Homo-oligomer: A and B are copies of this chain.
Amino acid sequence: MSLADPDTSSPAEVPRRPRGRPRKTADERDDGNRRRELVAGAARLFRQQGFAATSTRDIAAAVGMRSGSPFYHFESKEALLGAVMLEGMQGALQRQQAALAQLPAGAAPRERLRALVRNHFDVLLGPDSDFIPVMLYEWRSVNAAQRVEVNQLKDRYEADWVPELEALHAQGQLGADPVLARLMIFGALNWSAQWYVPPSGRSARARSRASLDELTESALQLFLREPR
């Protein structure tokens, strides 16, 4: 997973004991910031234009680099796409687990599902929400190795939904088989990336949040029946 070693010290010779302040390694340098900027810029452009229609020159320009420079940070355009998806899923999973951890101990399955849906809307439509839509809509362009890696995170993300859906089904609040229900519910939510436009006007942030809350309530009303 690590990048090719960008250490600029003298070429292979008899190894000398380094003197003075040690050179920073790739992880210590602020290269990470430029790398992050590249991933974020790529995510935005991949979402707007699609992976194949976005050139590495576009991405370089978006972060103020020259055309060849992204290849100092990533070995290929495909690797950049993989990084967008991987970082996107890492963030989404972290936020989901934080949202679940914040719930009271004995929260009912319906409340837990509400938290999962609300977080998913935030992941799809909130601030910095380019990563997951890119993952959803550019899946065919990512190579097999990265697909496996991202899939592991996706499996963990979806696994958190299963017990809640099963409990709701057992309680009669969910009318369909939980496996198919999960697929269709994710479809309904994921599709919102295609049509949702955040409300404009002053205090856009507050309104937008309110509106994702409203979306969440509507989704629950659609999918769930009254408790028996």
Instruction: Give the B-binding residues of A (Cβ under 8 A).
Output: 48-53, 137, 139-141, 174-177, 180-181, 183-192, 194-195, 215, 218-219, 221-225
Contacts and interface: CB of A to CB of B under 8 A. Distances in A.
Closest 5 CB pairs of A and B: A187-B191, A52-B52, A176-B222, A184-B188, A52-B53
B175 A186 contact: no
Nearest to A187: B191
A50 B218 CA distance: 33
Chain A interface, >50% SS class? helix
Given A50-B50, A180-B218, A190-B191, 7 more contacts: A52-B53, A139-B194, A183-B195, A184-B189, A187-B188, A191-B191, A223-B223
21 contacts: A50-B50, A50-B141, A51-B52, A53-B141, A137-B137, A139-B194, A175-B224, A176-B219, A176-B221, A180-B218, A180-B222, A181-B222, A183-B192, A184-B188, A184-B192, A184-B222, A187-B187, A187-B192, A187-B194, A188-B191, A191-B191
User: In the assembly, how many copies of this chain are there?
Assistant: 2
A218 B141 contact: no
Contacts of A139: 194
Nearest to A177: B218
A225 B184 CA distance: 16
A181 B181 CA distance: 15
